Amino acid sequence: MIKKILIANRGEIAVRIIRACAEMGIRSVAVYSDADRHALHVKRADEAYSLGDDPLAGYLSPQRLVSLAVEVGCDALHPGYGFLSENPELAELCAERGVKFIGPSADIIRRMGDKTEARRTMIAAGVPVTPGTEGNLRDLEQALEEAERIGYPVMLKATSGGGGRGIRRCDNPKELQQSYPRVISEATKAFGSAEVFLEKCIVNPKHIEAQILADSHGNTVHLFERDCSIQRRNQKLIEIAPSPQITPEQRAYIGKMAVRAAQAVNYENAGTVEFLLSGDEIYFMEMNTRVQVEHTITEQITGIDIVREQIRIASGMSLSVKQEDIHYQGFALQFRINAEDPKNNFFPSFGRITRYYAPGGPGVRTDTAIYTGYVIPPYYDSMCLKLVVWSLNWEDALDRSLRALDDMRLQGVKTTATYYQQILRNEEFRTGEFNTSFVESHPELLDYSEKRAPEQLAIAIATAIAAYAGM
């Protein structure tokens, strides 16, 4: 069994992994930049080590992270998500230095990170993929020829892209000509690769992903699906498990295809297979070779601790469950509470949190690394916390979500919380009929007031008086 883990990440995912380590009796080691020296993951870990004054360099150095793991006696490293979580070099260095990488092998990360290679692998395995180019594009001339063959609109994508970057929709040849150099430039800067390919643009699809777990003993299971259709510019905002808008037959088929995709590459550890759903057609989009931000909602409906399973798998143990043992109950929603101003084109709102009160009650979970007085630095993702709400049925889950968002107090920065309340009240959303165009097609939801109702103001004043009296 693994005894000591270096967590090569920061923020809420680092805190999440630290909690799993504590429950399993494993010693946790945090890393931090000077910008993160007062971060919660630093305070919660058993040990913490500085990566220097540069806010990003240490988190993005495989050599430094693995050397530190060896130096302080860690037998494993967890990459979390983002940063180097899908960097094959980090996995390779771990293998070379005798540190267990809590994730798949470097070869699988490399194969699935190359989207054209992933497409070829899925086609060979009988997993349906979106129509597109067989390989990477040589130049703009070939891109124009392939787009005519596939049919507009098309998606121009960076082969190594992710997180909504390195991707453009092109509705005609002129847009493709304009987008081609831009995507090349963005891909080169963000991913160090200028390779791009084309896919047919599936207009206004549903974005459905399936969570899988696979061990080194030949066991592969799925934990049902998540609906990630509520997104803005390919960035997820609200995630739901299970999807309220697919049939039981579609659910079974998606789970089957996700397991098939994982088995096709001899996958090991936790991963996510992402699909686009248009009518009755389901297409493979990509495979994420790491724990997802939204793993929380799968845990809520299945009762399975995904991070714990990751650590067990890396330790050489079998999965703790078989497919026939896995069931789901109720609905769970995750809200990414970002430090952004929705009324100002979602512009980042970094700064000091002057007051933070986490919502609670039955079925409410908060994953975060913030606290009152914490300063959100401008160097990282704008997500403050993940609010996760569960209930036995869809309507109750929506109503509980509204209550939880209203309970929460996060002051000092602008956030997306009030905007999410508008989405929850929207009839189209409440009926469970929505797709990836929902945010763009409902600009009126941004026309809200952040002023509290009189009764809310009275409660706030009474709370402040009571707090002062108790000092």
CATH number of the domain that 42 lies in? 3.40.50.20
C-alpha dihedral sign at 80, 84, 86, 88: negative
Confirm whether 123 is domain-assigned.
no
Residues 70 and 137 in one domain: no
Residues 96 and 136 in one domain: no
Final residue of a structural domain among 178, 200, 222: 200
Confirm whether 183 is domain-assigned.
yes
Q: For position 165, what pLDDT does the model report?
A: 78
Residue 432 belongs to domain spanning: 206-446
pTM of the shown model = 0.91
Q: Per residue in 241-298, pLDDT tens? A: 999 999 999 999 999 999 999 999 999 999 999 999 999 999 999 999 999 999 999 9
Q: For position 461, what pLDDT does the model report?
A: 59
Cα within 13 Å of Cα(323), Cβ side = 15
Q: For position 459, what pLDDT does the model report?
A: 53
Q: For position 160, what pLDDT does the model report?
A: 80
Confirm whether 160 is domain-assigned.
yes
Check if the beta carbon of residue 275 is closer than 8 Å to that of residue 257. Answer: yes
Confirm whether 420 is domain-assigned.
yes
Residues 346 and 243 in one domain: yes
Q: For position 193, what pLDDT does the model report?
A: 84
Confirm whether 148 is domain-assigned.
yes
Final residue of a structural domain among 175, 200, 225: 200
Q: What residues are annotated to the active site?
A: 290
- Stretches where the chain sits below pLDDT 50 are 453-455
Give the chain's length. Answer: 471
Residues 10 and 138 in one domain: no
Residues 236 and 329 in one domain: yes
List, in order, residues 6 or more apart from 94 with CB less than 8 Å away. 66, 69, 77, 100, 101
Confirm whether 117 is domain-assigned.
no
Residues 64 and 188 in one domain: no
Residues 211 and 160 in one domain: no
Q: For position 159, what pLDDT does the model report?
A: 86
Residues 179 and 278 in one domain: no
Looking at residue 418, what DSSP letter applies? H
d(CA 128, CA 455): 54
Final residue of a structural domain among 102, 118, 142: 102
Residues 375 and 394 in one domain: yes
Residues 157 and 286 in one domain: no
Q: Which residues, listed in sequence order, are joined to residue 211 by a DSSP beta bridge?
A: 272
Q: For position 391, what pLDDT does the model report?
A: 98
Confirm whether 462 is domain-assigned.
no
Residues 164 and 83 in one domain: no
Q: For position 135, what pLDDT does the model report?
A: 86
Max CA separation in the chain (angstroms): 74
Q: How many domains does the chain have?
A: 3
d(CA 74, CA 320): 24
Residues 153 and 244 in one domain: no
Confirm whether 87 is domain-assigned.
yes
| Domain containing residue 147: CATH number | 3.30.1490.20
If phi > 0 it is left, if psi is from -120 to 50 it is alpha, else beta; for residue 388 that is beta
